[in-house]
Amino acid sequence: MTALAARFQTCSRAASVLLIASGAVCALVPASGMAPSGALALALAGLALGLASRPAPGRLGRSAAAVCAAALMGAGVVALIPHRGPSGAFFGRMEPDIAVSLILAGGALTATAAGARRLLLSAHLAALAALLLSLLALSGYADTVKGFFGLAAYRKMPWPAVIMFNLLCLGILFARPNEGLMKHVTSDGAGGVMARRLLPASLLIPLLLGVLALQGHRVRVFNATFGISLLVVSSIVMFAILTWLTYRALDRSDRERLRLAAILLEEAERRHLARELHDEIGQSLTALKLRLELLARASPDAAPVAPAQALCDDLLSRVQSLSLDLRPAMLDDLGLLPALLWLFERYQGQTGVAVHFEHAGLDRRFAREVETAAFRIAQEALTNVARHAGVGEVSVRAWARNGTLGLAIEDRGCGFVPAAAFESGASSGLSGMRERAALVGGQLTVESAPGAGARLSAEMPLREDR
């Protein structure tokens, strides 16, 4: 489960605790305006919610929750039967809309508690409907509104009940955040981001504005017509602002996604080209070389063949070095450690900067994306050291421990201001390295100051191993 989903579930559990506590209080305090039966029913619902929203509910807890929730639903059904429901001070009288909400919420809670995956979509829809009904009560709380069904004269639902009901419906929605309707809200994609931004606002803003408009009308600050136009105009403004903010967030994440996709695409291209050069062209040149050698051996005068042989050798080493530049085959064939050792040797030869390498736990394979990210980060960091640090040695440490692959590149060179280097864009390659790390869910830390050397480290989570 993602951190986000876990947070949703925590909210759900918090709602259950609140429900149990406030239900118990309201049942005891007559000033709450709630019939003790109703308050206890909501406390019971809280209990069921608490049982249902645990990360791994046991079978006993699940059935207990389902029974509580079903009882809640039953109470709603009984209340709908005219003049058949129990009455008296303890039971009070339940309005039809409350009864309907109770049935909806109870049903949703039963399905959630029972862990019926296929029913969760309907459960979430039912909880949503119940939420809307209780929102209606909440917005209507500011003024007397005619009974929703017209079945009975509307009696104001006591405000603690309204709040508790809202809490219950939200709790039901949050209890199983990875399934049903809610999986769209908690998804990692741009859609999820949008849902999480827009939904709370689109619920709360109209509610708030509506209450304000009703109140304004009631205390006669303005008349009904003005109230409605005020409501319309402020809704328009609020939603325009919200749309603009959402646009910006989506646009940013979209660009980020494109950049990451470009990195992946480039890496795939490089792998393909490197393979093609190495395997196809390299092998053909090898065959050509063999043929030339046989030809030289068979002919009485080998001298005319010699230039062709030299040319062939030259081509072969060029193709190989090009292939290695694109993407060293050992990264795919043998893994990270051999590729790093190869890289350091070549780097030392090309730049004269000595690499001190220490490693632990690297004698194994990691997921290809992680190996690629670590290799490219090391490569880029070393290039930076050779280009900017002005030192003759650099130390590299790599470790795989506690489910993390770590990499640290440290030099005692001239150092730099990290923020400025990130902003300079492509020249330092720091943002590229950060994106590489981000691609595998890791992060890059750059620590440096002018004159104080630099330490660049990347830590990447190891999920599934190869």
Partner 1 sequence: MLTTIVLADDHQVVLEGLKALLAAEPDFRLVGEASDGLRVVPLCVELRPQVLVLDLMMPGLNGLEVTRQLKQRLPETRVVVLSMHASEAYVSEALRGGAWAYVLKKSQAKELVTAIREVVAGRRYLSPPLSEQGIESWQSKARAAALDPFETLTQREREVLQLAAEGQTNVEIGERLRIGKRTVETHRASLMRKLALRSQADLIRYALRRGIISVE
65 vs 408 by CB, closer to partner 1: 408
Read out DSSP for 419-435?
Answer: HHHHHTGGGT-HHHHHH
254 vs 465 by CB, closer to partner 1: 465
Q: Which helix (H) or strand (E) holds 72?
A: helix 59-80
Minimum CB–partner distance for residue 283 and partner 1 (Å): 4
325 vs 363 by CB, closer to partner 1: 363
101 vs 448 by CB, closer to partner 1: 448
Q: In what order do the strands lie in the sheet with 443-448?
A: 354-360, 393-401, 404-411, 454-461, 443-448
Minimum CB–partner distance for residue 286 and partner 1 (Å): 5
37 vs 457 by CB, closer to partner 1: 457
Minimum CB–partner distance for residue 309 and partner 1 (Å): 10
d(Cα 289, Cα 30) in Å, to the nearest integer?
99
Minimum CB–partner distance for residue 210 and partner 1 (Å): 37
Minimum CB–partner distance for residue 428 and partner 1 (Å): 19
Minimum CB–partner distance for residue 109 and partner 1 (Å): 35
* Cβ-contact 390, 429 below 8 angstroms: no
270 vs 275 by CB, closer to partner 1: 275
Q: Among 45, 102, 51, which Cα is nearest to 78's?
A: 102
Identify residue 148 by its one-letter amino acid code.
F
Q: What Cα–Cα distance (Å) separates residue 263 from each residue in 267, 323, 370?
A: 6, 18, 14
Q: Among 378, 339, 344, 336, which Cα is nearest to 361's?
A: 336
387 vs 401 by CB, closer to partner 1: 401
d(Cα 357, Cα 349) in Å, to the nearest integer?
15
358 vs 423 by CB, closer to partner 1: 358
157 vs 396 by CB, closer to partner 1: 396
169 vs 454 by CB, closer to partner 1: 454
* SS3 at position 289: helix
254 vs 363 by CB, closer to partner 1: 363
What contacts 105, CB < 8 A, 6 or more positions away?
45, 72, 126, 127, 130, 165, 168, 169, 172
d(Cα 452, Cα 466) in Å, to the nearest integer?
39
Minimum CB–partner distance for residue 394 and partner 1 (Å): 14
Residue 401: phi and psi, rounded to 5, are -155, 145
Q: What Cα–Cα distance (Å) separates residue 422 from each residue in 377, 388, 419, 442?
A: 15, 14, 5, 17
293 vs 435 by CB, closer to partner 1: 293
Residue 24: phi and psi, rounded to 5, are -65, -45
* SS3 at position 353: coil
Which spans of this chain sit near partner 1 (rule: CB under 8 A)? 278-279, 282-284, 286-287, 289-291, 293-294, 297, 313, 316-317, 320, 329-330, 333-334, 337-339, 341-342, 357-363, 397, 399, 401-402, 406, 408, 445, 447, 455, 457
Minimum CB–partner distance for residue 275 and partner 1 (Å): 10
Minimum CB–partner distance for residue 307 and partner 1 (Å): 16
Minimum CB–partner distance for residue 348 and partner 1 (Å): 12
d(Cα 322, Cα 300) in Å, to the nearest integer?
36
Minimum CB–partner distance for residue 459 and partner 1 (Å): 8
Read out DSSP for 205-256?
Answer: HHHHHHHHHHHHHHTTSS-HHHHHHHHHHHHHHHHHHHHHHHHHHHHHHHHH
* SS3 at position 180: coil
Q: What Cα–Cα distance (Å) separates residue 365 from each residue in 55, 76, 336?
A: 32, 59, 7
Minimum CB–partner distance for residue 357 and partner 1 (Å): 7
